[in-house]
Every structure is written in structure tokens, then in C-alpha cells.
Structure 1
Amino acid sequence: MSILKRFPALIFDFDGTLTDSAPDITLGLNRLLAQEGRRELPLSMVHHMIGDGAGRLVEQAFAATGVALTPAELGPMTARYLAIYGALPVDRSCIYPDVVDTLTALKQAGHRLGLCTNKPAGISVDLLGELGLDTLFDAVAGGDSVARRKPHPDPLLFVMDRLGVDAGGAVMVGDNANDVAAARGAGVPAVAVAYGYPRMPLAELGADIIIDRFADLPTALARLV
């Protein structure tokens, strides 16, 4: 069976999988923290906060500086962070090596590509456009597209529905446990990249295959067929 026939739909995480977004996320958080008179956080610390959505990111960032945001404070503070982050200039060098060429080749081969991220959908779509990746993707699910974010399978199922496939025709490609858990919940295989923000030893992610380079994805898919 060909890769295309087995996996007509390929679905990707964003942060830590397609782009090294941690520096900009750190910059946005630190600008917000500075506005609130809090200390800045190092990039290495923020790496471990990425992946659970903007609200949880902001909550963890303030907690790291000794402030426990109340539910009433968290919403407005998250909105402020998203406004700061969304206004940052986008540098296409944040795209990991081989991502553009590999996605382009897969798209040209006939695969439908989806994005499944815990970033808000609007910001995700805007970023895809600014990075020049928007024409490659056929469907996008953000952390606010459905009621529950990854690790729940709902956003992945949302993308699969829009790509017109069921569990027999898709694979999830990500970098952390949320991506693998969502894939498991949706009944699809999971490929993990080794260079992202896993927050745990790679061997503990439970992915079907781990790849060191994005360019290794076609070979990994062939092994799953």
C-alpha cells in the first residue's frame, strides 16, 4: 500500500514541530510580566510551559514569579499576552529545517495537510500566512476551535472531519505528550519529532516513531504503512 493511500491526511502540531516559537513566546511573556512588575523568565524555563494553550502558559509564567492568578484575572491577562504576542514581527527563520520542502513535497504528492495546535485558531492562521505556509494547509484547529484542547482528541477529530478522513486515514505529527495522547484518543498513529519541547524523556512519549529531522518524515510514514 502506498503512503498516500494509507495516510491521505497528515496532521501537524505547530510549536516545537513546525516552528521554534519559544523565543517569541518568551519575549511576549516577559513583556507582559514586565508590565506587571514581575521578573523575566529564561527561555529554558518557558520551554517547559509550552503546549497547553495560552491560558495555561500565562498562568504558569506568573506562578513562576510567585503570583497565583485568580480565574477572574487569568482571562484578561491571557488576552493581553495574546495581543503582545500577536503583534510581534514574524521571522521565517523560526521554521525548522526541511519543514517547507517536506510539506511541499507531501502536498504535491496528494496528501491533505492539517494543523492541530493549542494556540488560538486566529493567531495560528495569521502565523501560517506570515510564515508563507498557509497555502499548504487544508484545515486548522486551534485551542479555541472546540471545547477541549489537546490532550483531548476533539481538536484532532475536528481537523480529521474537515479533511474528510477517519482514523484509518490520518497520522498525527507532534513533539510532546499532548500530541501523542490526542492521537491515541482519536485512534491514529503518532510520529514525534526529537527536537521540540517534549517536557519528558522522548522514550516516554509513547509515539509510534520518533524522528530526528523533519526530512525523515516520509521514511517514517513508509514504516507505518
Structure 2
Amino acid sequence: MTPAPAPLVVFDLDGTLLDTHTDLVESLNHTIAALGLEPVTYDDLTHLVGQGARVMIERACRLRGHPLSADTLPPLVERFVAHYAGNMPGHTQPYPGLIAAMDLLKSGGYRLAVCTNKMESLARGLLEKLGLTGYFDAITGGDTFEYRKPDARHLTSTIERAGGDVSRTVMVGDSINDIAVAKNAGVPSIAVPFGYSDVPVNTLGPDHIITHFDELTTELVERLLGEYAEKVAV
């Protein structure tokens, strides 16, 4: 009898694995300062993040009444990337309990991966600066493929790179893109309420919510995989 594939837990990055808000705000404000725009705040951030740097800059400029033309965006993206990459890891830290939870999952034979709409180079660079890349069997960003969350292919391609199986995968995230990509790919989702969602995560329809990473256990993952398999079979 062929053994079941090792379970795979796929994480979003910003607002899920890592508290990046201070550095995102600083780099974003550095970027829009070139246009003479008023700085954004943490309260603005929940409406700006989730689709990568380009969209975040566009949204910030629109928020400040300064819509961008196609030719003015690329130099602003370069300005953001240079500032953000040059200051890594800055104030960014893993959320409480994350390292212990990942150690627990890895010791149980689980695979781990990152699926983020952040540029892959920035995601990898940040995780490397924090000494976390060794935990992950795959790290994919918003520019890794021709598609990104909530497109199901971003998640399914990440699963493939990590050597996982869709039927044995759980997605962990903090926003609508994470919950939606899980639904689109046909995998159960776990939401965290401490990230950057602009609405309460319970309104997004996740399969489960954890308020601290000490709740992310092998028992929880196996239960969710079993419940989801039963639901799909009905």
C-alpha cells in the first residue's frame, strides 16, 4: 500500500509569517515622497497590501489623490525595491510562536512552503536575512509565475515545487487572497486575525482561524485535511 504524501502547509508571508508593517510603511513613504505626497499610516496599510509592490504603490498614490500613469510607475517600483531590500530585515520579525510551530511541523515530517504576492526576490531576501529559508521546500512570489493569488495556479504550482499533493495541503494566510486561492485550488484554509486584512477574517470564510501560532499543530492540520476530504466527497 502506497503511503500518503507528506502533509504540506503553505504560508502567506506579509501579515502571516512575518510582521512586516513597519518596513512596508517606511519604504512606501520613502517611495511616494518622491512625488511630494503625504505619508501613509499603518491604518492605511490594510487597504494597500496584498498584490505586490506595484499595486501597493498605485493604491497609495490613488489614496493621496495622485493616480499614476503607466510610464511613471516603473521608477517608483525601483525606488521602493531599492529602499526595502537595502534595509532588510529592518524591524520585521516572525509572529510569536511561529518558529516553534514550524519546528513542530517539520519534526512531524511535514513540508512547508511560502506562497506570496510579494516579489520572489524580496521574499527570499527577507527570509534569508531572518535565517528562515531552510524551513521551506518552496518559496514563490508574485512574479514567479505568470499568475498570482488568488489564481489557483499560484498555489498549485507552489505545491508542485514543494513536492506536495493538493489533497494533503493546507493554506495559512491573513487576507482574502489567501482564503480565495485556497478555495480556488480546493484546499482547506487557516486564517490568522493579526495580519493586514481590511475586514475581519471570519467574514472571509476560512475553514479555521487561529489567534496564535501555538494553535498550529499537526493534529489541527490532519483534522482539517480529513474534514475537507469528507466535505469534497459528499
The interval holding the TM-score normalised by the smaller chain is: over 0.9
Partners of 2:86 and 2:16 in 1: how far apart?
22
> Which residues of structure 2 form unaligned runs of 5+?
227-234
CA contact (8 A) 1:191 1:207 kept: yes
Residues 71-220 of structure 1: pairs in structure 2 closer than 5 A: 71-91=70-90, 94-218=93-217, 219-220=219-220
Q: 1:31 maps to which residue?
A: 30
Q: Check whether the contact 1:55–1:78 (CA below 8 A) recurs between aligned residues.
A: yes
Tell me what 2:221 maps to.
221
Cα deviation 1:85-130 (Å, max 9, x = unaligned): 1111414762110011111121122111110000001111111111
Partner of 2:58: 59
Partner of 2:231: none
Q: Which runs of 5+ in 1 are unaligned?
A: none
Name the Cα RMSD after superposition: 1.7
- Offset of residue 36 of structure 1: 2.1
TM-score w.r.t. structure 1 length? 0.93
Match of 1:42 in 2: 41
Distance 1:148 1:222 in 2: 29
Could you tell which deviates more after superposition, 87-96 or 51-60? 87-96
Distance 1:91-1:73 versus aligned 2 partners, 3 A rule: closer
Q: How many residues align?
A: 222
Is 1:7–1:171's contact at 8 Å kept on the other side of the alignment?
no
Note the alpha carbon deviations across 1:52-76, whole angstroms, 9 max, x for none.
1111100011111111001222222
Runs of 4 or more above 4 Å deviation: 4-7
Percentage identity across aligned positions?
A: 37
Deviations 1:190-214 (A, max 9, x none): 1111211122122211100011111
Deviations 1:111-159 (A, max 9, x none): 1111000000111111111111111011011000111211111211111
Give the TM-score of the pair, scaled to structure 2: 0.89
